[in-house]
Amino acid sequence: MAWVNDIIQGILLGGLYALFAAGLSLIFGVMRLVNLAHGDLSLLAAYAALVIVGPLDINPFLSILAVMLLLAVFGYVLQRGLLNHALDAGPLPPILATFGLSVVIQNLLLEGFSADSKGLDAGRIEHQAITLSDQLAIGWFPLITTLTAVVVLLGLSLFLGRTRMGRAFRATSDNQQAAQLMGIDNRYLYGLAMAISLATVAIAGVFIGIRTTFSPSVGPARLIFAYESVIMGGLGSLWGTLVGGMLLGVAQTLGSHLSPGWGVLAGNLLFLAVLAFRPQGLFAKQVHE
Amino acid sequence: MTVLLEAEHLTKSYGALKVVDDLSVSLDAGEALGVVGPNGAGKTTMLNLITGTVHPDAGRIVFAGSDISHAAPHERCHAGIGRTYQIPRPFEGMTVFENVLVGGTFGRRHNERESYDACALALHRTGLLPRSNTLAGNLTLLERKRLELARALATDPRVLLLDEIAGGLTEHEVHSLVATIKSLGAEGLSIIWIEHIVHALLAVVDRLLAIDFGRKVADGEPAVVINSPEVRDVYLGSEAE
Ligand SMILES: Nc1ncnc2c1ncn2[C@@H]1O[C@H](COP(=O)(O)OP(=O)(O)OP(=O)(O)O)[C@@H](O)[C@H]1O
Ligand SMILES: [Mg+2]
C-alpha cells in the first residue's frame, strides 16, 4: 500500500513539473529557443509574489494574477527587446542570451533578497489532506496543483488548436518562413509566446514557492526537471509534457522510498532510459504514419 | 499598362559567389512572366529577394508604387505578394483547411469567419476541397504543390510568384496545373513563374526572362527568347524538355 501512495504522490508531483514545464515546451515549439533562464524566471515569480504578499498580508494564491501579469509583460519586453535580436543572429546567441539572463536574475535576487531560504505561506491548505486509508492520503495542495496544471494545459491546447492566433503559433512552429509569407508577423508572435510562457511560469513559480522553500540559486536545478519532463513526453506535445512530468515525479518518489537520497537519481535514470530507447520522447508528433 | 512590380539592380552574394548579379525585373499589372535558367542560376534567390526572406546586398524593389525594399516578409504579403515554394513547405501538423485558413486570416487580416469563403474558394480552385480535413503532412507531391498554390491564393495576392510548381509532376498533372494557372492569369492576377518545363511555361506566359549566373540573358517575346542563341547556349542539353 505504501507503494500505491508513493505512486499517487509522484503523479501529483508530476502535475507540478508539467505546470512548470509547459511554458518551456511552448517556447521551444514555437521558436526553437532553449530558455536556460526558465528556472530562474520561476524564482523571479516566487519573489514577486513574496513582495506582493508581505505588505498586503494576503494568501499567495491571491497574488497569482498580478504575478502572471507582471511576468507576461516582462516576457513580451524581453522577447522584443533582446531575444528576437538574438534569434536573428543564429542558433548560439539565443542560448547565450538566456544563460546570461539566468545569471543576471540570480545575482539580482541575491542582491535584493539575500541567500536565505524564503517561503510562501498558503496557510492550512498546505497540510490538509483527503484520507483514503491509514496509508493513503491525498494532500489538497498537491491535488489543486495538478488540477491547475491540467487546466493550464487544456487552455493552452484549446488556444493552439482552436483559435486564429493559435493556428499562427502552430504554423510558425512548423515552418517559420512559410508562416511569414502567410502574413504572420513573427516578431510580435514570438513576443506573445514568451508572454504566455512566462504567465504560466508565474503560476508554477508561486505553487513551487508554496510547496517548498526557495533561494536565488535553485533555478538551474528546477530547469533540469522541466527539461526532463518535456523531453520524456516528446517535444511539441503538451499532453506528453504532462505524462513526462508524472513519470519523472513517480520515479522520484519511488526512488526516495528506496533510499532518501535516490529520488533525483531515479528520475535522471528514467530520463536516460527514455533517451536511450525512445529519443524522440513518448508522445512525439508523428505526421507520416 | 501600369507597372506592378519593379526590381532594380538586385545583387546578392553568398560568400564569394554572386548568386544574383545586378538583375532588374519589371512586371506589368495582369502580366504573366516566365523565368528560365539552368540549375543554380539564381531564380529561387530572386524570388526570396522579392518576398523579403533574403536581403539584397544592393538594389531596390518597388511594388504597387511603394518602395518595399525594407519591408518585412509579412508586410509584403499584406501588400499583395504571394509565393509558392519549389520544395513545398506545408504546415505539416495542420489540416489542409487550416493551412489555407492561416493565409486567409493573416494574409487578409480577417477573422476566421470572414475568411472561410475565400479559403473554400482557394481550395476549390486548386482541386483540394475534398482533401480539406487531411493532415497536410500526409499529402502526395501533387497535392502539396496545389496546397502551396491554395495557401498563396488565400492571402489574396496581386502577384503570384510560382517556383517550379510543375516540377516533378506527371505530364497529366502538369496539364491540369497549367489550366489552373492559366485561369488565374485570365482573371487578372499577375504572375512570375519559374519553370524548367518549357512547354508548360509557353502555354501561359506573355513574356519570358532567361537568367544565368544571376544575370539577365534575354527578356521578351517567349518564342523569340526561347529560340535565341544565348538561351540555346545556356540550355544546351536540357532543351529536350
Ligand atoms: N542560403 C544559401 N547559402 C549559400 N548558397 C546559396 C544559398 N541559397 C542559394 N545558394 C546558392 O546560390 C545559387 C543559386 O541558387 P538558387 O536556388 O537561386 O538557384 P535556382 O536558379 O533556383 O536553381 P534551381 O533551378 O536548381 O532551383 C546556387 O549555387 C546555390 O547553391
Ligand atoms: Mg530554384
The Cα A110–Cα A215 span in angstroms is: 8
Inter-chain CB proximity B77 and A180 less than 8 Å: yes
Cβ distance A185 to B105 less than 8 Å, yes or no, reads no
Q: What is the mean pLDDT of residues A121-149?
A: 84
Q: Where are the domains of chain A?
A: 2-277
Whether residue A159 is predicted with pLDDT greater than 50 in this model: the reply is yes
Q: What is the DSSP letter of A234?
A: -
Query: Ligand 1: which atom is nearest the Cα of residue B54?
Result: 1
Tell me what pLDDT residue A3 has. Answer: 81
Query: Model confidence over B99-132: pLDDT tens digits?
Result: 999 999 999 888 888 889 999 999 999 999 999 9
Whether ligand 1 lies within 6 angstroms of the CB of B55 is answered as no
Name the residue with cell 515546451.
A25
Q: Which residue has its alpha carbon closest to ligand 1 atom 4?
A: B14
Q: Is A21 exposed, middle or buried (0-12, 13-18, 19+ CB in 10 A)?
A: buried
Please, what is the average pLDDT of chain A?
89
Local confidence band at A1 (pLDDT 50, 70, 90 cut-offs): low
Confidence of residue A285 (pLDDT cuts 50, 70, 90): low
The pTM for the full model equals 0.91
DSSP string of chain B, one letter each residue: --EEEEEEEEEEEETTEEEEEEEEEEEETT-EEEEE--TTSSHHHHHHHHHTSS--SEEEEEETTEE-TT--HHHHHHHTEEEE-SS----TTSBHHHHHHHIIIIITT--HHHHHHHHHHHHHHTT-GGGTTSBGGG--HHHHHHHHHHHHHHT--SEEEEESTTTT--HHHHHHHHHHHHHHHHTT-EEEEE-S-HHHHHTT-SEEEEEETTEEEEEE-HHHHHHSHHHHHHHTTTTT-
* Minimal C-alpha gap between A285 and chain B (Å): 8
Q: Does residue B48 have its Cβ closer than 6 Å to ligand 1? A: no
B224 — pLDDT class (breaks 50, 70, 90)? confident
Match domain A2-277 to its CATH number in 2.60.40, 3.40.1130, 1.10.3470, 3.20.20. Answer: 1.10.3470
The helix (H) or strand (E) run that includes residue A139 is: strand A137-139
* Cβ within 8 Å, pair A167-B94: yes
pLDDT by residue (tens digit) across A54-89? Answer: 888 788 888 899 999 999 999 999 999 999 999 999
